[in-house]
Amino acid sequence: MKPEEVKKISLGHYPTPLERMERLEKRLQKGPLYIKREDLSEMGLGGNKVRKLEYLVQEAKEQGCSVLLTYGGPQTNHGRLTVAAAVRMGMKAVLILDGDRPKRMSGNLILDGLMGADLRFVGDADLEGLSIEEYRVRYAQKVEAMTRAVIQEYEDRGEKVYVIPVGGSNERGALGYIQMIPELMEQMKNKGLDQATLVCGAGSMGTFAGLWLGAAYYHAPIRVVGISINPQTDFTAEAVCEYIQSVSRTYEMGVTCSPGDLSIYFYTKKTPYAGAGYNVPDADTLSYIQMMAETEAIFLDPCYTGKVFHGYADLLRRGEIPAEGAILLHTGGIPGLWADEHVSAMQEMLGGCQDTAMDRLHRMLSDMKKEQQELTAQLEDMRAKQQDRTYRFKEKMGQKLMNGQVYAKLRAYGLMDEDRES
C-alpha cells in the first residue's frame, strides 16, 4: 500500500500556514525567510505530533483499542498530544514518564492532568551508581516491566491498549510528514518559491525521516536539514537511514538512502545547537527564543524549536543554507516555556525575581507544613481507634518512644509541648 492510500483520522487543522518573517529578515540581513506553523495545528495546543497521531490513532481504532499508551520525559509534547487525541476519540491515555513524580506539576504535566491522563513515573533512584551502559539496560527493563503491568491492569478492566513508541516515530507515524510534503509544495508554488531548504528538529527522528522520505518520493525541490536537539543522542545517520529504508519498504516507495544523503547537524563545538542537554535550560537557546519573540511575536520552546532556530539562524549567517526559501519548521512545544526549570532560567534574562534562598526557604516550609498536616491526620486516625490514647500510642511506637525520636518529631511539628513529654 502506498503512503497516499493509507487511511487516517482527522485531528488537526490543515494546511498549517507558511508565513514570511520580514522583521527577522531585517535582523539577520537575510531573506526571504519563512516559517511553517505546525504549532497552529490546533488540537491540544498543537504541534508536529498531530500529523503522526492521525495515522497511529486510526490504526488503534481499527484494532479495537480503547487506550493509548506512550512514553517520554515529564515535559513530553508528544505525550500531551497523545492524551489530546485520546480525549478527542473518546479513549483513555496512559503516559509512562521518565524520572520520579515531581512534587510540583508544571508545563505539559498540568495539561496532561487537566485532560485526565493516567501518569506513571518510572523512577530511577534505585539505579544510582551504575555505569551508563548498565543504567540504560536496567532502565529499559524497568520501562518494559511497567508497560507489561499497565497493559495487564487495563486488560483486567476489559480495555485494549495500543502502544505508541517515543515521539510516535515508527513506520506508521512517519506517514504524517511524508504526506505533509505535497501540502508544502502547493504553498511554495503559491508564494513563487522554486526551491526551499526546510530546517526541522531531529529528536526521535520521525519528523525528519518522514520529511526527507516525502521529499524524495514526491520529487520535491526541497532539501531537508535536521538539527539535533539532544547532545547525548543515541541516533546516528546510519540508524536514520535504516529507519527511512524500512518505511520505504513498508509502503512500497522505492526510495533508498545512504548516510551521505542526509543533512543532520549533530552536537559539536562548531554546531552546539543542542545546548546543555535534553530539556536542560541554556542561555544560547533562550536568546534565540527571545530573538524570534522580539521580531515576529512567535514563541518557541526551550527543548526543541529554540534549538532548531539557533541552528537555522547560524547556518544562514555562515552561508551553509541559502537564504532564499529557507523555511523553519515550527513543531510546537509552547507549554514547555512554563516548565519550572525553564521559568527559573528565564528570570535572570528577563529581569525577574531570582530563586533566592528565601524562595527556597518558603518552599521548604510549605513542604514541612504539608508533612505536618499528614502526620497530624495519621495521629488523629490512631487516636480515634484507641480507647486509651496515650497508653496505646506509646505501646504502638515501642522502642521509638523510649529513645525520643517520635517526641522530637512531634515537637518539630508543633504537636507536643516540652512539658508534655513526661
Question: What would the pLDDT profile of 91-134 be if each residue is shown by its tens digit?
Answer: 999 999 999 999 999 999 999 999 999 999 999 989 989 998 99
At residue 81 the predicted structure's pLDDT band, cuts being 50, 70 and 90, is very high
Omega before 32 cis (within 30°)? yes
pLDDT reading at 392 higher than 60: no
Whether the Cβ atoms of residue 308 and residue 199 lie closer than 8 Å to each other = yes
Q: Which residues pair with 93 in a beta bridge?
A: 68
pLDDT reading at 64 higher than 80: yes
Across the range 139-167, mean pLDDT stands at 97
Looking at residue 388, what is its pLDDT? 56
3-state secondary structure 168-196: HCCHHHHHHHHCHHHHHHHHHHHCCCCCE
At residue 172 the predicted structure's pLDDT band, cuts being 50, 70 and 90, is very high
pLDDT reading at 240 higher than 60: yes
Looking at residue 355, what is its pLDDT? 57
Of 363 and 348, which is predicted with more confidence? 348
Distance of alpha carbon 81 from the chain centroid: 10
- Indicate the fold that domain 49-168 takes in CATH: Rossmann fold (3.40.50)
The full set of domain ranges for the chain reads 3-42+171-350, 49-168, 357-420
CATH architecture label of 3-42+171-350: 3-Layer(aba) Sandwich (3.40)
Cα separation, 260 vs 250, whole angstroms:
22
Closest CA to 45 of 84, 95, 93: 84
Could you tell me the sign of the dihedral formed by the alpha carbons of 59, 62, 64, 66, in that order?
positive
Of 84 and 125, which is predicted with more confidence? 84
Number of residues that this document lists for the chain: 422
On the 0-12 / 13-18 / 19+ scale of CB atoms within 10 A, 344 is middle
Q: In 179-320, which residue ranges form alpha helices assigned H by DSSP?
A: 180-190, 206-217, 237-250, 283-296, 305-318
Strand residue runs (E) in 40-132: 67-72, 92-97, 118-121
Looking at residue 207, what is its pLDDT? 96
Please identify which residue in the block is written with the cell numbers 513506520. 171
Cα separation, 400 vs 393, whole angstroms:
11
Whether the Cβ atoms of residue 206 and residue 199 lie closer than 8 Å to each other = no
Which distant-in-sequence residues (6+ apart) come within 8 Å of 107 by Cβ?
A: 75, 335, 336, 337, 338, 339, 340, 342
pLDDT in tens, 257-296: 999 999 999 999 999 999 999 989 899 999 999 999 999 9
Looking at residue 421, what is its pLDDT? 46
Q: Which residues pair with 36 in a beta bridge?
A: 18, 329
Helix (H, G, I), strand (E, B) or coil at 160: coil
Torsion of CA 295, 298, 302, 307, to 10 degrees: -60
pLDDT reading at 44 higher than 70: yes
Could you tell me the sign of the dihedral formed by the alpha carbons of 382, 387, 390, 391, in that order?
negative
The residue type found at 189 is K
pTM: 0.82
Check if 3-42+171-350 and 49-168 are the same fold: yes
Looking at residue 65, what is its pLDDT? 98
